[in-house]
Amino acid sequence: MNQDYIIPNVWSIIEEGFDKEKVKSSESLFSIGNGAMGQRANFEEQYTGHTFQGSYIAGVYYPDKTRVGWWKNGYPEYFAKVINAPNWIGIDVMVNGVAFDLNTCKKVANYKRELNMQEGWYKRSFVATLPNDQEIEVNVTRFLSLDIDEVGAIKYDVKALGGDMDLTFSPYLDSGITNEDTNWDDKFWNTTKVSSQGQQGFIEAHTMKTNFATCTFMESKLFHNGKAVAINSDAKTEEHEVRFTYKISLKNGDSATLHKFGGYTVSRNHEASDLVNAAKLVLKKVTNLGYETLMDKQKQAWGKIWEMSDITIEGDIKAQQGIRFNIFQLNQTYLGKDSRLNIGPKGFTGEKYGGSTYWDTEAYCIPFYMATKDQRVARSLLKYRYNHLEKAIENAKKLGFSNGAALYPMVTMNGEECHNEWEITFEEIHRNGAIAFAIYNYLRFTGDYSYIPEMGLEVLIGISRFWQQRATFSKQKDKFVILGVTGPNEYENNVNNNWYTNYLAKWCINYTLEQIGKVKDGYSDDHKRIIGMTKLTDTEMDSWKAVADNMYFPFSEELDIYLQQDGFLDKELITVANLDRTQRPINQKWSWDRILRSPYIKQADTLQGFYLFEDHFSQEQLEKHFDFYEPFTVHESSLSPCVHSIQAAKLNRMEQAYTFYLRTSRLDLDDYNKEVEEGLHITSMAGTWMSIVEGFGGMRVVDDKLSFTPRIPKQWKAYSFKVNFRNRILKVRVTEEGGSFDLEGTDEMSIRVNGKRLVLKAGETISASSE
Amino acid sequence: MNQDYIIPNVWSIIEEGFDKEKVKSSESLFSIGNGAMGQRANFEEQYTGHTFQGSYIAGVYYPDKTRVGWWKNGYPEYFAKVINAPNWIGIDVMVNGVAFDLNTCKKVANYKRELNMQEGWYKRSFVATLPNDQEIEVNVTRFLSLDIDEVGAIKYDVKALGGDMDLTFSPYLDSGITNEDTNWDDKFWNTTKVSSQGQQGFIEAHTMKTNFATCTFMESKLFHNGKAVAINSDAKTEEHEVRFTYKISLKNGDSATLHKFGGYTVSRNHEASDLVNAAKLVLKKVTNLGYETLMDKQKQAWGKIWEMSDITIEGDIKAQQGIRFNIFQLNQTYLGKDSRLNIGPKGFTGEKYGGSTYWDTEAYCIPFYMATKDQRVARSLLKYRYNHLEKAIENAKKLGFSNGAALYPMVTMNGEECHNEWEITFEEIHRNGAIAFAIYNYLRFTGDYSYIPEMGLEVLIGISRFWQQRATFSKQKDKFVILGVTGPNEYENNVNNNWYTNYLAKWCINYTLEQIGKVKDGYSDDHKRIIGMTKLTDTEMDSWKAVADNMYFPFSEELDIYLQQDGFLDKELITVANLDRTQRPINQKWSWDRILRSPYIKQADTLQGFYLFEDHFSQEQLEKHFDFYEPFTVHESSLSPCVHSIQAAKLNRMEQAYTFYLRTSRLDLDDYNKEVEEGLHITSMAGTWMSIVEGFGGMRVVDDKLSFTPRIPKQWKAYSFKVNFRNRILKVRVTEEGGSFDLEGTDEMSIRVNGKRLVLKAGETISASSE
């Protein structure tokens, strides 16, 4: 049974009733972020129950020394970890000298959490009875500002119930924090200075080894029944802490409200020596604005994001809540302002997996950012890999490749590989192909060819060199083979001729050769520069072509399908439907050898290829492959259901598409994988977006034109979304009767619907029937 | 270049000249052991240079918490480690108040180490000039008694040169020791009591978690110019140490000699509460005997071992030294007295690899112990696995097997798996076959059928159940396949249909069925008991037979050879001879993926099968397979050269056989693998024995008869060895002219030489020409 305590609501994530067992799960689900920092939904006040504390700063990581059982040559020395940053949210509350702690309260009534996605804030409210029988009503609202992204704001409101009381607020900063995820229990932070000025507190601390300097800061304002109260507390500073203490006496029914502003200035954006000054400037700005004005700006900023990226679903609240939760989290994690950042698999909601960048970015996230943001955001994501090209070449060198062959890392923070499992790190090389595909995808969607001569071609050349060197010639097969790989389906390791990998390799080489020709023809200066730098010769290109032209693909004549890898048909082909339910999820029930020799597929593998290259295959081929592989797929990767939803929709199997859609969109809300406590699956959320726009909406780019084949699940009355195609904004609405296409702005665009080309002028709406 | 500082000598290992860089290497090479305890050749006196301290007690281990990068279901919680035990050898020496330390001496002259293998002692001698310019001549002899295997003895002799001097001996015990090999820097020992009585010292300590209780003990005697001196020092005890201090004034030319007796009593052999008393009894015994008498007994005991197990080689000192070193180390490690012990890969010479038992025992060591000891020793080794059958069944259960299927652990101390690398722990399942083969091998060599009904059959049934369940049916091949395994060649992981594994599996099942039939016919009570206990049915046996009868074996029609695994011929088949020498050893130069997709073979794999089942294949088949596989073999396992030496001899390629022989016999002496500092390769030493007796000697058992096909390398004048075949002792001597067979004892036996059967009566010698 999946988790089922989140209350369905079209714009909010809501929990009602206090349950200590759900605290860690809710800390993940109610996380907030603004692209520059993030915060799990930890309580401001002391909490002595089970909790997973997490405050994160984008781009701040620690290289944790690699831990392995058995070292292999080529393993990286460290694993780059997103780390828990100094705590800025803390506000201890005392009532008549007794600490308020939800874990020790005699009673907690009307407990409610709400994450308002429309406006970008998170609120907790409840009535608590303390061990000393004092009763208080608490309302706490928190948000991380999109406008001033170095700051967050908390409004902590306490109302005295059933009697007078003395109340104390103790806002504090704390850098004596630990990490949930650490290999050797290293200390990750070094605190250099704890200071205060007036009612402002500062902690300067830097990460060990990486030396990211940060200043964590805060300032508070106090209100009595809504009226500002002058405060003047002396700061109490300790080795890792600065704390103020504000006392106020309340009559029964009175309220005391603390506004706390806090956050981080970091050396990524400021001189390390100037962080305290920068923090003071931020505090000046936000205290001048005040909490309410900052909140108003927050609502406007989120309004702007939703204006472009919202997807509406009518007639299905859970589906609506799911897609908005996914879109909201993606925007909390990455806004595309900084090309040094990327999209970590857990965003700012947990620490698992470390690193910030996986192939998820290229294979799953780029379409979302391309279609819902300015196209510079996607370009920025591509540029991130261009900036890491040198390191990818170094990485390949460590594994025995030469001559500028590039292997992008499986997991990275700064371009260096930081993953250490040979079957993944060394063998899951298809990631290289996803990076090339993203370049192609960006080009066809944005039409921005300039990226190729400026940056993309160099990346493509490095990748093609890798493929040519990685393929070996099999005399027996008289073909090139790629031995010893792990495909997207990580439930197979060290297999030969993974079809997906071989197909990508061939495609990469051909695409690179095509682009070299185009750049030569259209951008001869760039061509000269790139050829000069890479020393690429015709002979070398011929050697690439030989590999691409003679690549081997495992195929079954009998079944008329491509095989996931050599030998796949030797397995005991028992479908998931015929697998004892008690054996699932197999990754929690079976030993690894058993998983490997089984036919079970963790996530789309051959079908991932059919997704990326759908125009290379007929509908009949897709159907045959889907019918063969899907029954063996256990979808134990968060990245699996979305691809299957898209393909089921394409095959007009709407019930199946809908089931997969719910699974991808509510993966975390309903905790399908029993691990939401560890954080959310951020990157797969972009797959959810694809499953509506590309799946149900049937959006494709064909011959430089946008094309749609809209379908609608029977559970829905209508759904709508917008896409930014080549800087033109198109709004699509699909109902049971058909689809309508509405061009915003001043331009005109040509789209295809169900194979028919339609020209749409600004302001026009054209309807097309849904199959 | 290999190491080359050991001076060739037929009976001793000798080092001359003090070289700090060689201390750790020599600490391994000059290790001593007596089956119950072992000691690296660490110095008795203080040494501040680089050293790897190691004192080991058989069967005493610590379950070190498993360390992995990424946990997999089924991994064991801990890795059982041989651990460094409290130090009993320490004797600090002071000259006129200055500590004697070879690392700080102004000069060290005439430095010599000798390990006398014939007599079982180790000696160091030299003249040292201390920082205070005092000169002393030192002679230190040490041995671990074979007669009283809880004790060792040291004779530490110092002669004053060039002046009078005050000398201090400080014999001590120390339990404040650390381990070279530890996952988490845990403390492995807990010291409970440090005590003394008269000139005896005791430290009681037990291992953490496993709670093996030990008493480390000592007592010393002092001599001045050979005459006993009464001593009466007060013991100085600290938390982890007990120490006596003896002062003596020497005139120039005088000598002072300390006899130190020390060792361990352990709870494996005594009540934990009685360890100090037991130690006192040992000390009483040995001080009554005195050092010289104990030494005489030592020489006699080793003489007895050599009488049966010696191999002589005439005309090739290095080859002679090599084989004796191997035989000596095997006997130091395991003497077969205790069926709870086994043969660790490093014996008592280091800590690497942990555990005590690998498949090495069955595949490599059993032939040696079978042929050179009472046959009860080999039976004891078999019984070790019988005792662990329940745990092997539990182990298989953890991996999803049922109904009494048994998978013996890859590495173990107590029957539980303690290795954690999925490709080995879960997939290197051929180890199960080696255990069944050892039963068969024991039977054919000793003729002791009683083992089968008493114990062996239950083990065989557990193993056959495993194979039947582990094989799966491939519809495509219409055969049973075994997917996802690692063969003996660990440079391939997770391959399908490893020929060696499939062949063993089929053989195991057939052999088990055959033995079930024999037990049924000949031992009906045992049969009833075993069938009752195992609930084995005819239906189940039919299912085994189906697997054995329809097992798939990868085969190349074109090359007419069995393939190491599916897809082997898809590799780039560049031989080792054509591989750039700078790339070797590949396990130190290449990343794991590159090793895996290469054709290079770490150790005999297909050829290992041809070795075990040589009578199943013709000479032509062996030649074809040897010619195909050997050129791809890099022999980066210590277990590889011996098998190739045997097969090269069988193919009459004597130069190649000789080269492989030197490599296996002098692997550690010449440090082929650049790792002798970590300890010796004990189990592969049994392979060295095989390469003479089975390789050059051509010994086989055919139809219950012993058979020989003797050959001699041109470097040798003659060689000789003895074997105990079915309790009859046969001496074989091979010269350039031929071989002679000499039956010791009162019986007669029939042997075959070059296919001709000869009947030999006691006292007779028959000659046979060497091909």
**Which residue is it, tokens 């054509």?**
B578
pLDDT band (50, 70, 90) for residue B296: very high
Exposed, middle or buried by CB within 10 Å (0-12, 13-18, 19+), for B744?
A: middle
Q: What is the pLDDT of residues B341-369, one digit of tens each?
A: 999 999 999 988 776 899 999 999 999 99
Indicate whether A394 belongs to any domain: no
pLDDT at res. B631 = 98
pLDDT band (50, 70, 90) for residue B598: very high
Closest chain A residue to B481, measured at CA: A570
Indicate whether A162 belongs to any domain: yes
Distances, alpha carbon B515 to alpha carbons A111, A376, B467, B523, in Å: 71, 75, 17, 11
pLDDT at res. B744 = 85
Closest chain A residue to B494, measured at CA: A494
Q: How close B543 gets to chain A, by Cα (Å)?
A: 16
pLDDT band (50, 70, 90) for residue B602: very high
pLDDT band (50, 70, 90) for residue B522: very high
A476, A566, A594: residue with CB nearest B399: A594
Closest chain A residue to B428, measured at CA: A593
pLDDT at res. A351 = 86
Read off the pLDDT of each residue in A396-418 and give the average, rounded to a whole number. Answer: 95
Closest chain A residue to B401, measured at CA: A594
pLDDT at res. B770 = 59
The answer to whether the CB atoms of B566 and A569 lie below 8 A apart is no
The answer to whether the CB atoms of B496 and A567 lie below 8 A apart is yes
Indicate whether B77 belongs to any domain: yes
Three-state DSSP state, A380: helix
Residues on chain A touching B481 (C-beta within 8 angstroms): 570
Q: How close B219 gets to chain A, by Cα (Å)?
A: 42
The answer to whether the CB atoms of B399 and A567 lie below 8 A apart is no
- Non-local CB neighbours of B416 within 8 Å, separated by 6+ positions: B76, B80, B391, B394, B395, B409
Q: How many CB atoms within 10 Å of residue A769?
A: 10
Residues on chain A touching B584 (C-beta within 8 angstroms): none
The secondary element (H helix, E strand) that includes residue A662 is: helix A654-665
| CA–CA distance, B64 with B419 (Å, rounded to integer) | 11
Q: Which of A490, A636, A678, A694 is catalytic?
A: A490
pLDDT at res. B673 = 83
Q: What is the pLDDT of residues A567-597, one digit of tens each?
A: 999 999 999 999 999 999 999 999 999 999 9
Mean residue pLDDT of chain A comes to 95
Domain boundary among A260, A280, A307: A307
A570, A587, A589: residue with CB nearest B474: A570
Q: Are B388 and B408 in contact (CB under 8 A)?
A: yes
- What total of structural domains would you count in chain A? 2
Distances, alpha carbon B162 to alpha carbons B131, B232, B254, B283, in Å: 15, 29, 11, 36
Straight-line distance from the first to the last Cα atom of chain A, in angstroms, rounded to the nearest whole number: 34
The values of phi and psi at residue B608, to 5°, are -65, -40
Q: What is the pLDDT of residues B152-176, one digit of tens each?
A: 999 999 999 989 999 999 999 999 9
Q: What is the pLDDT of residues A9-25, one digit of tens each?
A: 999 999 999 999 999 99
Q: Are B344 and B352 in contact (CB under 8 A)?
A: no
Structural domain harbouring A706: 697-771
B398, B421, B570: residue with CB nearest A591: B398
pLDDT at res. A477 = 97
pLDDT band (50, 70, 90) for residue A162: confident
| CA–CA distance, A390 with A458 (Å, rounded to integer) | 10
Residues on chain A touching B422 (C-beta within 8 angstroms): 591-593
Mean residue pLDDT of chain B comes to 95
Q: Are A60 and A188 in contact (CB under 8 A)?
A: no
Q: Tell me the DSSP string of A528-568.
A: HHHHHHHT--HHHHHHHHHHHHTB---EETTTTEE-SSTTG
pLDDT at res. B314 = 97
Answer whether residue B292 shows pLDDT above 90: yes
Domain boundary among A307, A342, A361: A307
Indicate whether A463 belongs to any domain: no
Answer whether residue A765 shows pLDDT above 80: yes
Q: How close A585 gets to chain B, by Cα (Å)?
A: 12
Straight-line distance from the first to the last Cα atom of chain B, in angstroms, rounded to the nearest whole number: 34
Q: Are A36 and A151 in contact (CB under 8 A)?
A: no
Give B251-263 as a 3 state SS string: CCCCEEEEEEEEE
Read off the pLDDT of each residue in A504-518 and give the average, rounded to a whole number. Answer: 98
What are the beta bridge partners of residue B219?
Answer: B200, B261
Distances, alpha carbon A197 to alpha carbons A191, A276, A279, A760, B541, in Å: 18, 11, 12, 60, 84
Indicate whether B694 belongs to any domain: no
Three-state DSSP state, A235: coil
Tell me the angle at which helices A431-446 and A457-470 cross, rounded to the nearest 10 degrees: 150
Q: What is the pLDDT of residues A290-332, one digit of tens each?
A: 999 999 999 999 999 999 999 999 999 999 999 999 999 999 9
The answer to whether the CB atoms of B73 and A477 lie below 8 A apart is no
Residues on chain B touching A484 (C-beta within 8 angstroms): 593, 596-597
Q: What is the pLDDT of residues B678-713, one digit of tens each?
A: 999 999 999 999 999 999 999 999 889 999 999 999
A72, A495, A571: residue with CB nearest B591: A72
Read off the pLDDT of each residue in B523-529 and give the average, rounded to a whole number. Answer: 98
- Residue A128: CA count within 13 A, CB half-sphere: 26
Q: Tell me the DSSP string of B552-597.
A: ---EETTTTEE-SSTTGGGS----GGGS-GGG-SHHHHS-HHHHHH
Distances, alpha carbon B685 to alpha carbons A39, B356, B367, B638, B674, in Å: 60, 16, 12, 9, 17
Q: Are B121 and B142 in contact (CB under 8 A)?
A: yes
Residues on chain B touching A477 (C-beta within 8 angstroms): 570
Read off the pLDDT of each residue in A483-504 and give the average, rounded to a whole number. Answer: 98
Q: Indicate the Cα dihedral angle A475, A479, A483, A486, nearest 10°.
A: -160
Catalytic (active-site) positions of B: 490
pLDDT at res. A245 = 97
A426, A484, A591: residue with CB nearest B399: A591
Indicate whether A291 belongs to any domain: yes
Interface test with A, best of B593, B595, B600 (most A CBs within 10 A): B593
Q: Which two tokens stand for residue A378?
A: 């996607």
**Which CATH number does the domain housing residue A59 bear?**
2.70.98.40
Closest chain A residue to B475, measured at CA: A570
Q: What is the pLDDT of residues A241-282, one digit of tens each?
A: 999 999 999 999 999 999 999 999 999 999 999 999 999 999
pLDDT at res. B31 = 98
Q: How many CB atoms within 10 Å of residue B146?
A: 22
| CA–CA distance, B418 with A172 (Å, rounded to integer) | 48
Domain boundary among A258, A278, A307: A307
**Upstream peptide bond of A585 is cis (omega within 30 degrees of 0):** yes
- Non-local CB neighbours of B565 within 8 Å, separated by 6+ positions: B487, B492, B495, B496, B497, B498, B499, B554
B74, B477, B593: residue with CB nearest A592: B74
Answer whether residue A628 shows pLDDT above 80: yes
Nearest to A717 by CA among A321, A314, A319: A314
The rounded percent of chain B whose pLDDT value lies above 90 is 87
Interface test with B, best of A591, A595, A636, A678 (most B CBs within 10 A): A591
Question: Could you tell me whether strands B227-229 and B236-238 are parallel, antiparallel, or unpaired per DSSP bridges?
Answer: unpaired
Residues on chain B touching A399 (C-beta within 8 angstroms): 591, 593-594
pLDDT at res. A1 = 64
Compare B2 and A132 and report the one with higher pLDDT.
Answer: A132
| Residue A15 appears among annotated catalytic residues | no
Indicate whether A131 belongs to any domain: yes
Question: Could you tell me whether strands A135-144 and A121-129 are parallel, antiparallel, or unpaired per DSSP bridges?
Answer: antiparallel
Read off the pLDDT of each residue in A219-238 and give the average, rounded to a whole number. Answer: 95
Indicate whether B713 belongs to any domain: no
Chain A with chain B: Cβ pairs closer than 8 A:
126
Handedness of CA B42, B44, B47, B53 (dihedral sign): positive
Q: Are B213 and B267 in contact (CB under 8 A)?
A: yes
Residues on chain A touching B477 (C-beta within 8 angstroms): 570
Q: Tell me the DSSP string of A301-321.
A: HHHHHHHHH--EEES-HHHHH
pLDDT at res. A63 = 87
Q: What is the pLDDT of residues A88-104, one digit of tens each?
A: 999 999 999 999 999 99
The secondary element (H helix, E strand) that includes residue A444 is: helix A431-446
**Which residue is it, tokens 């369940």?**
B469
Maximum separation of any 2 CA atoms in chain B, in Å: 90
The secondary element (H helix, E strand) that includes residue B112 is: strand B107-116
Q: How close A427 gets to chain B, by Cα (Å)?
A: 6
